[in-house]
Amino acid sequence: MLTRPFEYCPPSDPYLNILYQDDEIIILDKPSGLLTVPGKDPKHADCLESRACEKFPGAKTVHRLDMDTSGLIIMGLNKIAHRHLSLQFQNRNVEKAYETLVHGPMQEKAGKIDLPLICDWPNRPKQMVDHERGKKSLTEWHLIEHQQNISRIHLIPHTGRSHQLRVHLMSIGHPILGDRFYASDEIYQMHDRLCLHSKNLTIMHPVLKEKMSFESKVPF
């Protein structure tokens, strides 16, 4: 499947959706179509991080979502908070959950996808399954509902590989609706955006040392 050409037109309404803020962290709801961090091309300078820095100088990204993916992003507002949060992600102490719409009926109500992933260099940024060189990648899924030929799925990534959820679902025969990288033309055109949303995030507050959970409404 060839990558579809696109023009970067980041959404501006709302310009910056802040769900929570204090002196240490901010929780943002990123829209589909906006980069998390700036790209190499000057045309890709507008991103969630740059917008956050306009209001919170020094705000720094801890983790990323694909441009086409929407949902929860946390940023540190100082070096100590950023380092503390970065270690949580590095040590997989953060709880994350996504929701998606995929093509076709799931045969089971729940399952796990354990397929190693590696960058498909000739076609980057695409990723692919590679059982010899790929890095371990594990996704847990649960069926929410099924209507016609579309399944709504709850996803829990136990690893954080690039494009992990998109490639894993495509690899078991259930590509995400609106996926310009991995879906067929028919499935790509079934929705006007990638139907993948980061809806739940639980972290340990870097100063309060208390678990904090956040939720974002699924927009599809």
Rounded Cα distance, 14 and 31, in Å: 9
* Residue 190 structure tokens: 């079934």
Verify whether residue 68 is a known catalytic residue: no
Q: What single-letter DSSP state applies at residue 4?
A: P
CB neighbour list of residue 137: distance below 8 Å, 6 or more residues apart: 114, 115, 116, 117, 159, 161, 164, 168
Which whole-number Å values give the CA distances from 175 to 46, 60, 102, in the listed order? 29, 32, 6
Q: How far apart are CA 207 and CA 79, in angstroms?
A: 12
- Cβ–Cβ under 8 Å, residues 9 and 31: no
Catalytic residue, candidates 29, 41, 46, 66 = 66
Catalytic residues: 66
